[in-house]
Amino acid sequence: AGGGGGGGGGGSNQGSIVGDVILKGKKQYWERGANYFYHRGMAAGENTVEGPITRLITNSMTEKKAFDVDDILSKYISLMTTPDAHNDTYAGTGHRMFFANWQKGVEPRKCPDNDGHNTDALDGLTNLPPVVFFSMLDGRDALAANSQACVTLFRESGALRKYAPVVASLLVSLVNGAPIRDAVASTGSVMGVSVAQSVEQSRGQDPMTACYLPSSFPSMLHFAYKYAENPRQALLANANTGGENVARGAVL
């Protein structure tokens, strides 16, 4: 569970979503001014909540032999509303908005929402890799459709729809044997970023960014390119740089 905040702000201990619907028994850690660490009490190496969510998506695809949105949402709701099903004390804005709608009786497929600020963030890409690896075997159309569906399972985000095919293409390239730096540089060029030039101009300083995609995604590419020969060093550098390093580390 790396350090770092981001991904929707500190929130509040007011209202009934945090503590009563999700993160049951953890509402006190959201009290304004209490200054609790976002992922308080987690053991070293333990996954933040996006980890168990990624596992449940993987388990669903394994069980159903398909990318089954309704089954995934059912498993997601069970995970998030069951006390102590995970040890994280934080859930990003997208998750909180989903369950605000769900609590009102909105059907799960219509619960994803967007606050126009914190939802278009890197944490929305953390669940994508197993969906890409599963779907690429069924051809380009399935890969495109399932990638788009994956990043909007819990968030309504046009920005994530834009980034989903880019990340999918990067992952497929790597699976097919492309050198990491070549694949990352190509991905950067698609997004209008010269990754090699950015790394060179950083003069050894790794970028500390917030969660928002226009800055967090290029920073993720920076780490992947700079430390391509040493994944462990990449993850350690990501953690030690700070900022929103949790989702960035998960995507790395």
Would you say residue 6 has pLDDT above 50?
no
- The position carrying tokens 């999918």 is 168
Which amino acid, 116?
G
Q: What percent of the chain has pLDDT over 70?
A: 94
3 CA to centre of own chain: 14
The burial of 166, by beta-carbon neighbours within 10 Å (0-12 exposed, 13-18 middle, 19 or more buried), is given as: middle
- Computed over every residue of the chain, the mean pLDDT equals 91
DSSP annotation of 89: -
Q: What amino acid occupies position 99? A: F
**How far is 64 from 83, CA to CA, in rounded Å?**
26
Q: Residue type at 40? A: R
Is 12's pLDDT higher than 80? no
Q: Is 153 left (phi over 0), alpha (psi -120 to 50) or beta?
A: alpha
Rounded to 5°, the CA angle 136-142-146 comes to 95
Three-class secondary structure of residue 123 per DSSP: helix
Average the pLDDT over 53-62 and give the result: 98
Task: Reply yes or no on whether the pLDDT at 5 is more than 90.
Answer: no
Q: What is the pLDDT of residues 81-132, one digit of tens each?
A: 999 999 999 999 999 999 999 999 999 999 999 999 899 999 999 999 999 9
Check if the beta carbon of residue 90 is closer than 8 Å to that of residue 64. no
Rounded Cα gap, residues 238 and 150, in angstroms: 25
